[in-house]
């Protein structure tokens, strides 16, 4: 794709570098083999030029799922490439990221290869020390929020010194759209909210595509006791309307929002008629305004026939190289909110890891791909202009 006034980056440029040591050079990464002294990288040579960038530097983050292979691979497999949290943090800081968003892995906040510095499960306190070492901040972290986990979740937020901490979808995957299930989720989050308020830490929930489907809340119940018809309210809207707007916020994933736009265009009304209703990601972001405290900045290209396993008519791609109107979305959000209320904008690219992506024809032999894509994603983010 050709550059357009510096706004869009060539995917060929982003993916053209080789693997191994050549990949590390293409990334502009330091040599982070076993002999690294862990010294702080001077990001001045690698950080993109801000100019009139739309997203402030301290709100440019990355969801660590994007580079999960680098975090988890054995040290020494690729001596010129980062491995484990500490070395990956150095690489991300050198690329110009300001924040990171972690995720719970098998029930623990941080998991890496057991031979990496800090062991298989480094403590949040140690992770915080590494973040400080490289000038990074914790821009959220998500696992699962409910009354059984809220105390540990808030302790994690305090240790990481993040003012906000989150969860995957409010309804556990694969995400029911039955009103009774969403009422239970609302009750659980409302039980957690007073503890969050007492700690001064806000909560957020991520949304994949299914929470934007219509809530089944009307008509007769079937043999399983489930509703089959809809009043026209979307499940996530229902959840947001019934939780505290001051303490419970939304992480809007741009990619899944556009998938939802493709999938959920109509519903069966209480009278049995079919009614149309468009889901508009930009209008939704503007509607909730400052309550959208996070975005997962994720792009996609249109596919006439998507590969098996992909939802809607989209396939993942490097940020700001796809067909989603993301620059327009963020321009409108920033115009409405202003820089004083800028959300965290966390890059997430599900298929940045070589060989992963629902059967996409990607090489398994490029261990530098996820970190190189992370750098290209950041360039695409910085390239957005007001």
Looking at residue 25, what is its pLDDT? Answer: 35
Q: Which of 187, 198, 185, 106 shows the shortest CA–CA distance to 143?
A: 106
Q: CA-to-CA distance for 89 and 66, rounded, in angstroms?
A: 13
- Is the pLDDT confidence value at 160 over 90? yes
Q: What mean pLDDT comes out for the span 175-200?
A: 98
Strand-pair category, 299-302 with 314-317: antiparallel
- Supply the pLDDT for residue 138: 98
CATH number at residue 128: 3.20.20.150
Read off the DSSP letter of residue 197. Answer: H
Q: What is the pLDDT of residue 51?
A: 56
Mean predicted lDDT score pLDDT of the chain: 88
Mean pLDDT, residues 328-350: 94
Identify the H or E element spanning 266. strand 266-268
- Yes or no: say if 204 and 167 are a contact pair by the CB < 8 Å rule: yes
Q: What is the pLDDT of residue 251?
A: 98
Whether 256 maps to a domain, the answer reads: yes
Mean pLDDT confidence for 70-85: 96
* Tokens representing residue 259 in the block: 């998938």
In this structure, what token pair is assigned to residue 32? 């982070």
Structural domain contains residue 36: yes
Residue 13: predicted pLDDT = 33
Band of residue 30 on the pLDDT scale cut at 50, 70, 90: very low
CA distance 39 to 3: 35
201 inside domain: yes
Q: Is residue 187 a part of any domain in this protein?
A: yes
The stretch 290-303 carries a mean pLDDT of 97
Which pLDDT does position 360 carry in this prediction?
Answer: 79
pLDDT at 50: 57
Residues 6+ apart with CB under 8 A from 222: 228
Name every residue whose Cβ is closer than 8 Å to that of residue 113 and which is 6 or more positions away in sequence.
71, 72, 73, 74, 75, 83, 84, 120
Q: For residue 338, is it within any domain?
A: yes
Looking at residues 191-208, what average pLDDT do you find?
A: 98
Q: 309 or 87: whose pLDDT is higher?
A: 87
**Distance (Å, rounded) from C-alpha 186 to C-alpha 239?**
6
197 pLDDT tier (thresholds 50, 70, 90): very high
> Does any domain span residue 301?
yes
355: buried, middle or exposed (CB in 10 Å: 19+, 13-18, 0-12)?
middle
- As for how many domains the chain has, the answer is 1
Residue 309: the pLDDT is 87
Residue 333's domain spans which residues? 11-382
Least confident of 98-102, 157-161, 301-305: 301-305
pLDDT attached to residue 52: 83
39-59 residue pLDDT tens: 333 433 344 455 588 999 999
Tell me if 6 is assigned to some domain: no
Q: What angle do CA 236, 297, 374 make, to 5 degrees?
A: 145
- For residue 308, what pLDDT is reported? 86
Those residues whose C-beta lies under 8 Å from the C-beta of residue 132, and which sit 6 or more positions away, are none
H helix intervals, the chain:
11-15, 20-27, 68-72, 84-95, 124-133, 150-160, 179-199, 235-241, 254-263, 281-288, 326-337, 369-382
Asked if residue 340 has pLDDT above 70, the reply is yes
Q: Would residue 2 count as lying in a domain?
A: no
Q: pLDDT at position 151, please?
A: 98
What is the mean predicted confidence (pLDDT) over 239-264?
A: 98
* Continuous segment of H or E residues that includes residue 137: strand 137-143
Tell me what the mean pLDDT of segment 348-360 comes to: 87
Name the residue among 101, 97, 96, 56 with its Cα closest to residue 341: 56
């Amino acid at each position: 794709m050709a550059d357009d006034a510096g706004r869009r980056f060539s995917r060929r440029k982003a993916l053209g570098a080789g693997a191994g040591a050549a990949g590390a050079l293409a990334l502009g990464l330091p040599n982070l083999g076993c002999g690294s002294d862990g010294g702080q990288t001077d990001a001045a040579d690698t950080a993109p030029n801000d100019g009139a960038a739309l997203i402030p530097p301290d709100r440019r983050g990355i969801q660590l799922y994007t580079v999960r292979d680098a975090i988890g691979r054995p040290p020494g497999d690729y001596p010129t490439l980062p491995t484990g949290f500490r070395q990956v943090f150095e690489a991300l800081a050198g690329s110009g990221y300001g924040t990171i968003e972690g995720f719970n892995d098998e029930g623990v906040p941080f998991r890496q290869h057991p031979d990496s510095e800090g062991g298989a499960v480094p403590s949040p306190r140690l992770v915080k020390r590494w973040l400080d070492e490289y000038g990074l901040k914790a821009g959220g972290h998500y696992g699962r929020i409910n009354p059984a986990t809220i105390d540990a979740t808030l302790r994690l937020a305090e240790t990481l010194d993040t003012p906000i901490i989150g969860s995957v979808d409010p309804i556990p995957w694969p995400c029911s759209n039955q009103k009774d299930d969403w009422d239970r989720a609302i009750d659980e989050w409302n039980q957690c909210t007073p503890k969050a308020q007492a700690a001064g830490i806000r909560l957020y929930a991520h949304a994949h595509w299914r929470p934007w489907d219509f809530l089944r809340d009307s008509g007769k119940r079937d043999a399983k006791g489930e509703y089959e018809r809809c009043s026209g309210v979307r499940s996530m809207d229902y959840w947001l309307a019934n939780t505290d707007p001051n303490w419970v916020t939304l992480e809007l994933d741009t990619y899944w929002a556009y998938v939802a736009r493709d999938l959920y265009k109509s519903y069966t009304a209480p009278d049995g008629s079919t009614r149309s209703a468009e889901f508009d990601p930009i209008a939704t972001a503007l509607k909730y305004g400052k309550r959208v405290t996070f975005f997962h900045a994720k792009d996609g290209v249109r596919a006439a026939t998507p590969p098996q396993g992909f939802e809607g008519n989209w396939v993942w791609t490097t940020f700001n190289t796809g067909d989603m109107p993301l620059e327009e979305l963020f321009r409108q959000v920033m115009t409405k909110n202003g820089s004083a209320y800028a959300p965290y904008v966390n890059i997430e690219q599900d298929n940045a890891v070589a060989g992963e992506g629902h059967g996409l024809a990607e090489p398994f032999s490029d261990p530098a791909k996820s970190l190189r894509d992370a750098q290209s994603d950041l360039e695409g983010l910085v390239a957005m202009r007001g």
